[in-house]
Structure formats: C-alpha cells, structure tokens
Amino acid sequence: MFEEFDALSFDCYGTLIDWEAGIAAVLGPWGRAARPELTDEDLLLAYADEEARIEKEYPTTLYPQVLAEAFRATGKKLGIPVSDADAEKLGSSVPEWPAFDDSVEALRKLKTRFKLIILSNIDKKSFEGSNARLGVEFDRIITAEEVGSYKPNQKNFGALNAYVDAEGLKVLHVAQSLFHDHVPGRAAGLKGVWINRRHNRPGWGATPDPGAEVQPDWTFTSMAEFADAAVPQTVASN
C-alpha cells in the first residue's frame, strides 16, 4: 500500500521517543511533592498548552529553554513553585528520554526500503542523544533550530517539502501528534500515517487538542505495526 513513496519523514518526540515518559519523569516527582493526588496525566495535560504557546511566541528559542519556560508556566498554572534547578533538569533531560520499545527495530526495517527523514521540534544538540538511542542513520534531519520555528508552523513543512522536491522524493509523513503534524501536514499537501501511541488512553496527554478535524490516510497503534505493513516480510528478506 506504500509503493508510491520512497521516503518517510518522522516526528521524533511522541512517535519514536517517548517524550511523555521523559517529561513525566521530571514533572511527576515535582508535582506530587506538593500535591500527592496529581497523576502524570494531570501534569502532562497542564503542561501541553504551555509548551505549544511558548514555541509559538518564541520560535527561535532553543528547545531546552522552551522546556524550562514551559515548566515554569506549568508551575504558575498549578500554583506550585518551580526552582531554577527544576527548570534546568527538564531542559537538559531530552537525551535521557527513552525510545519506544519498537522504534529501533522498526526504523531498521524501514531503512531497507525508504529514505528516512526527521522533522522535529528540537535543537541539534539535544537530538544527538536521541539519535544515539534510535540506532539508525537518517538521510536528513530538519530541526526547529534550523528552520527558526516550531511545528505546527508551515515553515517547518515548507522546509521538508523543499528538501524532498530537490531530491525528487515522494514522502509520507509519520507522526503521533495530530496538533503538531497531521493538521499542518495535510495543509502542506502531505499524506500521513498516524502512529496512535495513545490509542488505549483518553485525551491528548502532552499534545494540545488539534483544534481541527483531520483524518490521517493510515492509522497504526505502533511503529512495529506500521513497519510490518510498509515492509512486508517477503520484501524485507530479499
């Protein structure tokens, strides 16, 4: 079903790297030290809109500082103080965020058939740690730092389209976030695969409500499921 494509572009955080686990590892102990009833989901929901707002208002700010400022704003919203050390802990935590269990093997399998591209709301330095966890060489890495804006800004998708057009590639965008990726990706003319990592949980978690209706072209609940569909065993073994 994916024969028309020769490249895959990926959102990284939420799709390949478990950013909710990474953020919750810092926010959880902090929040429950003041209010034990707070769950990780409560904290992620409080955090989601703050990160998106800061990325929109300060598009050239590097992601570690976005994380730190979003943490401070979340603390203000919840009435819980955030120290400079707390903010720095989250801001520097990206290289420690775990890859989803299926990401490495799925990427290796997909690499046998497609060029692989990253389109991520990240800075180059932070991504180096994540790239080491993913264990694959990407053909192109497009960061928010490079573009000077954060998704869902169309500039980011314009950078992706400019690259694939120059290379003569037909790209399929693969992402978890409807807000950051599928709504703006559709506006940019991209076909998309939704990796619905939260299929067994209600709500949007650390991702804001998309605010618009969008129907991705394909939906899978994991990268493993998508890789099996995109690179059938008969193809992978040839």
Q: Average pLDDT of 128-132?
A: 96
Q: Would you give the distance in Å from CA 113 to the centre of its chain?
A: 22
SS3 state at 99: strand
Q: Average pLDDT of 67-78?
A: 98
Residue 23 has pLDDT above 70, yes or no: yes
Q: Average pLDDT of 34-55?
A: 95
Specify the pLDDT at position 205: 65
Percent of the chain beyond pLDDT 90?
89
Specify the pLDDT at position 1: 78
Residue 233 has pLDDT above 90, yes or no: no
Global pTM value: 0.93
Residue 224 has pLDDT above 50, yes or no: yes
- Separation CA 70–CA 149 (nearest Å): 16
Residue 31 has pLDDT above 80, yes or no: yes
Residue 11 has pLDDT above 60, yes or no: yes
Residues in the chain: 238
Specify the pLDDT at position 235: 52
Q: Average pLDDT of 67-82?
A: 97
Retrieve residue 68's tokens: 């730190």
Local structure of residue 178 (DSSP, 8 states): I
Per-residue pLDDT of 140-165, as tens digits, reads: 999 999 999 999 999 999 999 999 99
Q: Is 209 known to be catalytic?
A: no
Specify the pLDDT at position 202: 65
Per-residue pLDDT of 184-223, as tens digits, reads: 999 999 999 999 997 777 666 667 777 778 889 999 999 9
Distances (CA, A) of 170 to 8, 77, 183, 207, 219: 8, 43, 19, 28, 19
Average pLDDT, the chain: 94
Specify the pLDDT at position 126: 96
Specify the pLDDT at position 207: 78
Which residue out of 11, 18, 123, 181 is catalytically annotated?
11
Retrieve residue 165's tokens: 């057009």
Q: Average pLDDT of 60-65?
A: 98
SS3 state at 175: strand
Specify the pLDDT at position 236: 47
* Burial class, 210, CB count within 10 angstroms (exposed 0-12 / middle 13-18 / buried 19+): middle
